[in-house]
């Protein structure tokens, strides 16, 4: 690196993130709301740095609002976590389920991202992060179990 450029050191708290699996049940079918990443336009879930003063699930809900215009109920129950490499280190992400109640017509990142509802199998197929696919499977098992309990 040249002497003119200073290497940017990412603050440690940037490596602690949280996200949601935004979902709804429509026509008795589980659907997942995905968004595109800002740069590569890959289909992902809303996630981001855990904001100071917020619990991870609260921060995850805020990310869903900012990145997808999704408003709903975020569970306090962690359903999974995964890591990925970024900024020269490992980012650790905690994932929470969020039942979407409303999608806003206008939101903070509307100019940078697309959002789309996918049926569960299509969402799982289009997401490229293998560890997130495993979390989605666990989430679906939990949702199916709750549905069976409700109907018995």
Task: Determine which helix (DSSP H) or strand (DSSP E) holds 82, and give its type and residue range.
Answer: strand 80-86
- Domain contains 6: no
SS3 state of residue 105: coil
The answer to whether the CB of 107 falls within 8 A of the CB of 93 is no
Alpha-carbon distance 63 to 107, whole Å? Answer: 11
The answer to whether the CB of 57 falls within 8 A of the CB of 74 is yes
Nearest to 107 by CA among 33, 24, 13: 33
- Domain contains 5: no
pLDDT at 146 over 80: no
pLDDT at 10 over 80: no
The CA distances from residue 80 to 48, 136, 142, in Å, are 15, 9, 12
Q: Which tens digit of pLDDT belongs to each residue from 17-50?
A: 999 999 999 998 999 999 999 889 999 999 999 9
Q: Where are the alpha helices (DSSP H) in 1-151?
A: 56-68, 120-126, 130-150
Nearest to 21 by CA among 68, 90, 83, 91: 68
pLDDT at 2 over 50: no
Token pair, residue 12, equals 């440690």
Which pairing describes strands 47-49 and 29-36: parallel, antiparallel, or unpaired?
Answer: unpaired
Cβ partners under 8 Å of residue 62, min gap 6: 48, 51, 54
- Domain, as residue range, for 59: 12-150
Number of domains into which the chain is organized: 1
- CATH number at 104 reads 3.90.79.10
**Range from 40-44, 46-50, 73-77, 139-143 carrying the lowest mean pLDDT:** 139-143
- Domain contains 135: yes
SS3 state of residue 31: strand
pLDDT at 7 over 70: no
Q: What are phi and psi of 4, to 5 degrees?
A: -75, -30
pLDDT at 148 over 70: no
pLDDT at 4 over 70: no
- Domain contains 2: no
């Amino acid at each position: 690196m040249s002497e003119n450029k200073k290497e940017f050191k990412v603050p440690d708290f940037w490596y602690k993130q949280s996200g949601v699996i935004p979902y709804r049940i429509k026509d008795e079918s589980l659907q997942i709301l995905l968004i595109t990443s800002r740069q590569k336009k890959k289909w992902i879930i809303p996630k981001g740095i855990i904001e100071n003063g917020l619990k991870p699930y609260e921060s995850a809900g805020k990310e869903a609002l900012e990145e997808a215009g999704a408003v709903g109920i975020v569970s306090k129950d962690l359903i999974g976590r995964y890591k990925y490499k970024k900024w020269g280190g490992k980012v650790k992400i905690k994932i929470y389920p969020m039942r979407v109640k409303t999608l806003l017509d206008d939101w903070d990142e509307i100019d940078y991202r697309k959002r789309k509802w996918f049926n569960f199998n299509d969402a799982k197929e289009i997401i490229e992060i293998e560890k997130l696919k495993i979390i989605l499977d666990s989430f679906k098992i939990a949702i199916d179990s709750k549905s069976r309990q409700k109907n018995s």
